Amino acid sequence: MSDEKNPTVETSNEEYGSSNITVLEGLEAVRKRPGMYIGDVHDGSALHHLVWEVIDNSVDEHLAGHCSEVSIVINHDGSVSVSDNGRGIPVGMHDKGISAVEVVMTVLHAGGKFDHSSYKVSAGLHGVGVSAVNAVSEWLKVEVQREGYVHRQSFARGVPQERLHQDEETSATGTKISFKPDPEIFSSTEYSYKTFATQLRELALLNSGLKIHLADEREEGTSETFLYEGGIKEFVAQISAAKEPIHEEVIAFETSIPFGEGMADVVVDLAIQWCSSFAEQIFCYTNNVHNKDGGTHLTGLKTALTRTLNSYGQASGLLKNEKIALSGDDCREGVVCVIHVKHPDASFDSQTKSKLVSSEVKGIVDTAVTEHVGRYFEEHPQTAKKIIEKSLVAAKAREAARKAREVVRKGVMDKTALTGKLADCQSKDPTISEIYIVEGDSAGGSAKQGRDRHFQAILPLRGKILNVERARLDRMLASDAVATLISALGCGITEKGTFDLSKVRYHKIILMTDADVDGSHIRTLLLTFFYRQMPELLEKGYLYIAQPPLFGVRKGKKIRYIKDQMNLNEFLIENGIDGLNVKSSSGMELSGQPLYHLAGRLRTVDDHLNRLDRRCDRRIIAAAVRDVGIRMETFDNPESVEEAKDKLRDVLVAKYPDLQPLTVETESDEVDGLHLAVQFRPGATTKPGRLTREICSTGEYFELVSIEDDIDSIGTTPYTLTPNKGDVVEVDNATELDDYISERGRRGLDIGRYKGLGEMNADQLWETTMNPDARTLLKVEVNDPVRAEELFSILMGDQVEPRRKFIEDNALNVQNLDI
């Protein structure tokens, strides 16, 4: 027999032995396999999970009664700082021969209160603690206030750069951890403010008394504070205030029910209030996680409410002479409710935990709600009577709407409902079909002519549709525009259970309105309709907003369409710096991409100054940034403030002799500490003249400082401007450079603004807005359902005061005002 081996099998002379076994020391395992510890490093989930690992320690301190405030700051460089006023990480020496802080930061699963084993319930986090955050961070700095001193230590990619050292004295306690995610680990290190805001709001909601401050120090300079002293009861009260509650007190209870031997109890926490509105809003949570699709706790709640209201109505005689029974929808009309179940062994339908499927929870919630709401009704008969009467009105309206609802049930086969309105497409395949909901007959005509008939349908709507936030079903279906829209889509509506997603005729529903105030209003009314009556379309990603161009720029025979003012500015800058060379008197030259970057930043100076002008006169801001060099740190001590005061007075007097500032004072108060107060002569200006550390810490002020640094980097003035065509020009400062580039960018161009879609020809509308190969569509998504509910109630509801307050609170932040 031949000893020849199988030629298809490759062999190796290397042996597999003990030397092939690799031992990953310390945090090296986390860096080698980050997905095992923190999740997917490519889709952004792991990136944001780092912050939750740090925040969890602060929440744990709060639950233990030692922490009342947590602050999360997204810093200018993309790093994040999380600080709290808890007890602080222990700073004493550990048995390992290093400080307890270093142990916590460098050893997986180390610590007492710092790991996740102390939680009675778990949201399903990985539970590896802040040491995993340290491992995947380019750098991490920890600052502990404890035992009368501030203690600091820094790390790089998990490796200590120094030992924990004791610095200045302090009477405060707490921990601050700052870190920057390592770009070697993550595909993107760009944090989403909205993601933080959504989850932190829920965290504050579910942890009463915990004050959470979120700030974004990047370009926008946004910040919010979340605090619910009364927990979910206060939250429900806030939402209801924008809707006019029919009973003053929020019905709330928290109860514990035994789950099993050796297991923690199941806790049911509920707050509910009935309002005069018609929409039902129920937020479901399990173990601090939002369940957007509800689950067994929602089923138990609905069953209990229907039975309790009918039982009490019959027993009290309120329903004795009524011929109709209250349905579940009748009982829940106008309800605002939050239910939070804390379960030691919860089961969900998927990894996203969008739906609770623990079967025992249905009975637990049913029993708890029946007992506590029933007892509340017995103890508060006047409140119970108002709720029963509200449900009775809903039941009678349901009967009155039965005939109107037939319009919905007839669906798209009812040609009489759509004649002359819907220009349908030829395709019957919803996956490729799309419908444009267009404002007005004029735009509808252009859209019908310009479309691709095979897969594009057009539905023109005349005027503004009904605001469904303020209308019950019978009135809504009586609206011709709403009925036509429902019939055209073919899937029915969520209210009263007629919605069927499988029957929707188009998988792209595109709102196409004019780029003016009326167009925005119509779009908002349509969004309100879809959010309230067909929310599943948003969840499936079927709803879009068209992005027609606002400008047409013509040069000779060529025309270029531009989406909005920001894109127009970018185009004009690009055109203005084309072939231009800038040389400073010190010899530095600038052209191409570096010049484009500088010109773009110069163009934003006015925007930043205008935003800050509402808080402090823009002339003071400009002088503080450019001439005096006032920064956030200036306000750290009285000496630097006094020095800045003298310089600022001299600059203002020299620059604005007509204003003649009377005084520039150093003042202080308990809230802001030291600040500068500039007072001009009477009548010279009505703008505020109070420059504080808070203003100097805003994103706008930081950007102005950064732009000033860019200007300084190109050398001293004057600048010599040499275009590829034309005369050489000399300018004295950056403002004149900006003016020159702006004027040069517009030279030879004819810029037209489209006020409405009807101004476009059919071929223009197709080319810019409807051609799938060239158009841009904006997908409508609900990333923060709690905030969305609040805003729809405030802005579209029938209560004036919440809307007035919203306008007053946000007036200084408005950027585009059409008067």
- State pLDDT tens for residues 61-87: 887 788 999 999 998 888 999 999 999
3-state secondary structure of 438: strand
Query: Which of 292, 274, 237 has its CA nearest to residue 785?
Result: 292
pLDDT at 1: 41
Report which DSSP code applies to 660: -
Phi first, then psi: give them for residue 619, nearest 5 degrees.
Answer: -70, -35
Rounded-to-integer distance, Cα 282 and Cα 208, Å: 19
Whether the per-residue pLDDT at 23 is higher than 60: the answer is no
Token pair for 724 = 């590829």
Instruction: For residue 350, name the pLDDT band (cuts at 50, 70, 90).
Output: confident
Q: Is the CB of residue 309 less than 8 Å from the CB of residue 391?
A: yes
Q: How far apart are CA 284 and CA 781, in angstroms?
A: 19
Indicate the angle between helix axes 785-796 and 193-206, nearest 10 degrees.
Answer: 90
Phi–psi pair at 786, nearest 5 degrees:
-65, -50
pLDDT bin (cut points 50, 70, 90) of residue 98 is: confident
- Residue 12: pLDDT above 50? no
Active site residues: 439, 514, 516, 518
Lowest mean pLDDT among 36-50, 162-176, 542-556, 574-588: 36-50
Per DSSP, helices labelled H in 207-352 are 232-241, 296-316, 328-332
Q: Examine the pLDDT at 8 and tell me if it is beyond 50.
A: no
Cβ atoms of 215 and 72 closer than 8 Å: yes
Look up residue 57 and give its amino acid: N
Cα gap 171→87, rounded to integer Å: 12
The per-residue pLDDT for 4 is 43
Asked whether the predicted pLDDT for residue 228 surpasses 80, the reply is yes
pLDDT score at 404:
54
Task: Check residue 11 and give its pLDDT.
Answer: 45
SS3 label, residue 808: helix
**In this structure, what token pair is assigned to residue 599?**
């010109």
Question: Residue 58 to residues 54, 61, 66, 203, 669: CA-CA distances in angstroms?
Answer: 7, 5, 9, 11, 30
- The Cα 803–Cα 789 span in angstroms is 14
Nearest by Cα to 268 from 255, 277, 278 = 255
One-letter amino acid identity for 23?
V
Average pLDDT over residues 680-701: 80
pLDDT at 498 over 50: yes
Place of tokens 């040499």: 722
pLDDT score of 401 more than 80: no
Which spans in 672-776 are helix H? 693-696, 699-713, 734-746, 762-765
522, 516, 514: which is closest to 548 by C-alpha?
514
- Residues 553, 555, 560, 566: what is their CA dihedral angle, to the nearest 10 degrees? -40
Q: 5: pLDDT confidence band, cut at 50, 70 and 90?
A: very low
Looking at per-residue pLDDT, the higher value among 76 and 672 belongs to 76
Kindly state the DSSP code that residue 548 receives in the 8-state scheme: -
Better-predicted residue by pLDDT, 20 or 339 = 339
Q: What is the pLDDT of residues 717-733, one digit of tens each?
A: 899 999 988 889 999 98
| Contact assessment for residue 109 and residue 129, using Cβ atoms and an 8 Å cutoff | yes
Angle at 231 between CA 228 and CA 232, to 5 degrees: 115
The CA-based angle 333-338-342, given to 5 degrees, is 145
Beta strands in 196-321 (DSSP E): 211-216, 223-226, 251-257, 266-274, 281-286, 289-290
Q: Is the predicted pLDDT of residue 124 greater than 50, yes or no?
A: no
Name which of 447, 712, 772, 720 is nearest 583 in CA terms: 720
**Chain length of the chain:** 819
In this structure, what token pair is assigned to residue 735?
Answer: 């403002």
d(CA 426, CA 435): 12
**Which residues on adjacent β-strands are paired with residue 581?**
722
393 pLDDT band (50/70/90 cuts)? Answer: confident
| Average pLDDT over every residue of 141-160 | 90
With a pLDDT cut of 90, the percent of the chain lying above it is: 28
Contact call for residues 35 and 46 (beta carbons, < 8 A): yes
H or E element at residue 83: strand 80-84
Q: If you average pLDDT over every residue of the chain, what do you get? A: 82
pLDDT value for 128: 58
What does the pLDDT look like over 541-563, one tens digit per residue?
999 999 888 888 998 888 888 88
pLDDT of amino acid 123: 44
CA distance 243 to 246: 9
The residue type of 475 is: R
